[in-house]
Structures are given as structure tokens and as C-alpha cells.
Amino acid sequence: MTAETTAPLAGSGAGFLALNAGSSSLKFALFPAEGDVALATGQVDRIGPDGAMKIKDAAGEPIAPAEGGFTDHAAALATVIATVKRAFPALNFAAIGHRVVHGGIFYSAPVVVDEAVLETLATLSPFAPLHQPHNIAGIRAATEAFPGVPQVACFDTAFHRGQPFVNDTFALPHRYYEIGVRRYGFHGLSYDYVTGELGRIAPHLMSGRVVVAHLGNGASMCAIHRGRSVASSMGYSALDGLPMGTRCGQLNPGVMLYMLDQEGLNTAQIRQILYNESGLLGLSNGLSNDMRTLEAADNAEAHRAIDYFVFRVQRELGAMAAVMGGIDALVFCGGIGENSRVVRRRVCERLGWMGIEIDHGRNAESATVISSEFSRTTVMIVPTREDLVIARAARAAAGLSETAAT
């Protein structure tokens, strides 16, 4: 195959498109009727005047984008669809799956979307203001592009909906719990995939106590006991818990009151600081939100950001273990968790009291199991596949698997 594919690629039958619309990006993957190997994967970055798309086939070869624009999410999706249709003209789209950040108290499983579902999802936009509107826009654009094709919403909150009350609530007047101010937890599609993979490759661990660390530009941790989520570091919004690329993580509410009362900031200004100017970017004094850049910088600002990130992961790990009364396995996933041997090594330092000891050679090689033979707690790397979880839900909605979306 040439370096850039322009002619139609082979393939026919049913196709399933998995879409993940972020605040300024659109990730996508095209899957066949059967199998876990994507026919094509890609991403539109910097949606707006400077938007650009990259797409590659199953062999990793680039596919030439169709002509189009990236000025907004609708235009970006139209360009993605045109590209996919040109490269795979024989495919008939049987269902489109969408990552939706927030399902609130309403949805604990994937659902086929209709207008009533969209109206319900819109009421959840205040809970996830930087994600939910784009998720809904992506569904509407796909509905217009594929009339009659089922649109399936897959929720990041669904994996956590069975958590016990003490991990689901805040110590606020109960009326807030009743209207949906709760600890929802996020990254559920990632945790769903990793849990399934552990059940396949290490079933003995899934019967015990596992902490999964989804570490990336967005970061959280989840305590999973016997295959079920019992606690998550993220709570009411995607701001909570660990520091992230540009998000602050756990923050005393008094800080926001200070910003309101003493600095006179409005909610939009505070939202900008907490979502876009904090985390690794803020800790490094604007150096970078990318862990790779910080590791390479080797200066005081970078060290400060990495030190805080590692400290918070270690602290949260202790809390997760306490929730379950111990820990049998620690699993890393996400961009940082899968690729940064420095962060993995540093997180596991000083955790001998938890039975954690890594093998530095295995860690350097990013092996599946990176704990040493003497470690009482298994430490693993399981690359996550949120796109595959979405595709499987889309297949189920189309009746091509045993489990139907509800």
C-alpha cells in the first residue's frame, strides 16, 4: 500500500463508526461487522480555523482526507464521514456509537438515541459543560448524515452507577442528592474495557480487589471489587480527583469562594482557570500540559508538576485500597499510564507497605506485568480501548451480538 491511500479500500458488509467528540477534538474508529481490529482510526484536532485531521487504515498507512472543513463539530464530522465513505464505499453503516460523558441518574447502560433521549441528555449539560454539548452535537450531526441508522449513546458514568451510597453522595442537604448532585465518576468506557480484558487474561484478579489508574490528559482512578466499581476519584464533574493536563483535580470549595469574593471573577472566568489553565500546565507555570514534554524538560517547573501528579496518584491509591480493605492488583492505562515508565516507577516507589514492588526491566519494556516475582500485589499495564467498547455497543444495537443495547 502506498504512503497515502487515495483509492477505495477493500471491505464490504456492515460497518460501525465509533465517535468520541471532545471540546476541541473528534476521535473516531471504523469497525467491521465482526472482530476487534478497526478498519480505520483517526482524530480531528483543534476544531476551528486551525483544525486538521489524521486518519490511518488497519495497517497504519495514512488515508487521504476528503475535502471539507473543521470549523465546528458538525463540519468536522461531515469531513470524517466523507473520508470514510470514499475509502470504504462498500460498507453499509449499521449503527453509529457515541461516547457521551454524562448519563446522570437516568442511564446505566448504552441506549439507542431518540429525540426524548437527546432532550434528557441536554438537561445534563450543566453537569459537564465542556463535554456534553459537543457529545449531543455529534449525535445530531450523525443522525442527519445517516438517516434511519441507529445512534447509540455510551456513557462514561454508567460503569459507576452501582456504587454504594457513601461513594455516591456528598455531605450536602439531601435535596441536592435528589436532583442529581452526586459522585458520578467518569472514564467508565475505559474501565469497562480494562475490566473485561482482566477477566480474559487474569480472571483470578477480577475476583478480588483491583485499582485501575487511567492516567492521561484526563486522569482518574477506580476501585473495582469483584468486577464492579465501588469508588472513583472523579465525583460530580470531570474536574475532581487527580490533577490532569489542564484540569485542577481535587480543590477545596473555599478556593472558588475566594475567586468569587476576593478576586471578583465570574463563573466563566473560574471555569476557564479550573478546566484550561490548571493541572500540569498550571503547576509547571505554563510550560506544558503534556507529560512527555515535562519529563524531557528536566527543570524546576517540570519537576514540581510531576512531583505533585505522582503524589496525588499515590494518595488516591491508598484511599482506593482502604475502600476495598486491601488491594490485589494495580493496573495502569491511558496515555501516561501506558507510556510513561517514569511515572509508573515513581508511583510504585514507597508502596512496599501495599505489597507493591515493580521489576524495573519489565517496566522499561512496558510489559503486561511489571511487578517483580516478590511483589504480593500484581502491577500491570492494560492498554485501553474505549472505541472498541463503543463499537460493541453499536453492534449490539444492530442485533449483531448477543447483548442488545437498552
Mean pLDDT, the chain, rounded, equals 92
- Residue 91 pairs in a beta bridge with 13
Buried b / exposed e over 56-82, threshold 16 CB at 10 Å, is ebeeeebbebbebebeebbbbbbbbbe
Give me the pLDDT at residue 91, please: 87
Q: What is the pLDDT of residues 225-248, one digit of tens each?
A: 999 999 999 999 989 999 999 999
Return the sign of the alpha-carbon dihedral for residues 9, 15, 20, 26: positive
| Terminal-to-terminal C-alpha distance of the chain | 41
The answer to whether residue 6 scores a pLDDT higher than 70 is no
CATH number for region 204-386: 3.30.420.40
Task: Report d(CA 21, CA 28) in Å as an integer.
Answer: 8
**Chain centroid to CA 202: how far?**
23
Q: At what angle do helices 115-123 and 132-145 cross, to 10 degrees?
A: 160
- Please state, for a pLDDT cut of 70, what percent of the chain lies above it: 95
Instruction: For the chain, give every residue range classified as CATH 3.30.420.40.
Output: 13-155, 204-386
Query: If DSSP codes are grouped into helix, strand and coil, which group holds residue 323?
Result: helix
- The CA angle 94-95-99, to the nearest 5 degrees, is 160
pLDDT band at 213 (very low <50, low <70, confident <90, very high): very high
Task: Report d(CA 187, CA 185) in Å as an integer.
Answer: 7
CA-CA-CA-CA dihedral for 191, 193, 194, 196, to nearest 10: 120
Q: Smallest Cα–Cα separation from 146: which of 205, 106, 198, 94? A: 94
Give me the pLDDT at residue 404, please: 37
The answer to whether residue 300 scores a pLDDT higher than 80 is yes
Q: What is the pLDDT of residues 10-50, one digit of tens each?
A: 445 889 999 998 777 889 999 999 899 999 999 998 888 88
Q: For the purposes of burial, counting CB atoms within 10 Å of the CB of 313, is it exposed (0-12), middle (13-18) or buried (19 or more)?
A: buried
In this prediction the pTM is: 0.91
50 is catalytic: no
Q: What is the pLDDT of residues 124-174, one digit of tens each?
A: 998 888 789 989 988 998 898 889 999 999 999 999 999 999 999 999 999
Q: What is the DSSP secondary structure assignment for residue 71, as one 8-state letter?
A: S
The answer to whether residue 4 scores a pLDDT higher than 70 is no
Task: Report d(CA 332, CA 336) in Å as an integer.
Answer: 9
Cell numbers 469562594: residue: 257
CATH number for region 13-155: 3.30.420.40
State the catalytic residue, choosing from 156, 192, 240, 387.
156
CB 155 within 8 A of CB 105: no
